[in-house]
């Protein structure tokens, strides 16, 4: 994916939107050759929608349907349609808390990335920072990866480490991991926009971490 014109991003989030803000700010500062074409959320009150509106970026809530952990069929169609109409090149999951399945991934094959708050493959799933703390690891971090059919299993593009301190609580560790996320995610999007990431099966090449 090499783009002379800005890479068009579709950002999906369910929460407060700190990763979205980091990416939008990096774009505004001229460090990422991309533009956020559309922000979508499955949560009507999600902070990410307000942050998008403040920045003048089109943002919509789409009703997710009856399931708790995935989109129902109609919602999936609505998400795909909105993103296709916005002509997005890359889907950026930024705290989107539903699993995206077959039809969605087929529509955007190889073009969906996610950020996860642990060093995958350790601690996939929910509250990964708490899983790391409870397990007793001394180093954790965050991972940006392509999204495949599994849960947090796709090819890894970039990671950043975060030490676990003796004094850490779940909240303090989560906060430091989120700080690392705000550095890692814009750097990965910038590298994709420059056409530097090459993927073969599980192996990706080309990302130079802004620090580990």
Residues marked active site are found at: 116
* Residue with nearest beta carbon to ligand GAR: 95
CB of 61 to ligand GAR, least distance (A): 15
Looking at beta carbons only, is 151 or 212 nearer to ligand GAR? 151
| CA–CA gap between residue 17 and residue 110 (Å, rounded) | 23
Q: Is residue 20 within 8 Å of residue 47, measured between CB atoms?
A: no
Q: Which residues here bind ligand GAR, judged by CB under 6 A?
A: 13, 15-19, 48, 94-95, 115-117, 178, 181
Looking at beta carbons only, is 10 or 95 nearer to ligand GAR? 95
CB of 190 to ligand GAR, least distance (A): 17
Looking at beta carbons only, is 7 or 24 nearer to ligand GAR? 24
Looking at beta carbons only, is 95 or 154 nearer to ligand GAR? 95
């Amino acid at each position: 994916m090499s783009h002379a014109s800005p890479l068009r991003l579709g950002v999906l989030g369910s929460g407060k939107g700190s990763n979205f803000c980091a990416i939008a700010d990096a774009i505004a500062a001229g460090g990422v050759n991309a533009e956020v074409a559309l922000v979508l959320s499955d949560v009507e009150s999600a902070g990410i929608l307000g942050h998008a509106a403040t920045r003048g970026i089109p943002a919509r809530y789409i009703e997710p349907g009856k399931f708790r952990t995935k989109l129902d069929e109609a919602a999936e169609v609505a998400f795909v349609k909105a993103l296709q109409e916005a002509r997005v090149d890359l889907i950026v999951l930024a705290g989107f808390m539903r699993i995206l399945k077959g039809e969605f991934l087929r529509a955007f094959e190889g073009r969906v990335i996610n950020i996860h708050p642990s060093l995958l493959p350790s601690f996939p799933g929910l509250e990964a920072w708490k899983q790391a703390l409870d397990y007793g690891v001394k180093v954790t971090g965050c991972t940006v990866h392509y999204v495949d059919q599994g849960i947090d299993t796709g090819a890894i593009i970039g990671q950043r480490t975060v030490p676990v301190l003796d004094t850490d609580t779940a909240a303090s560790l989560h906060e430091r991991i989120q700080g690392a996320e705000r550095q890692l995610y814009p750097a990965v999007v910038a590298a994709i926009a420059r056409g530097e990431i090459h993927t073969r099966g599980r192996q990706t090449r080309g990302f130079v971490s802004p620090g580990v």
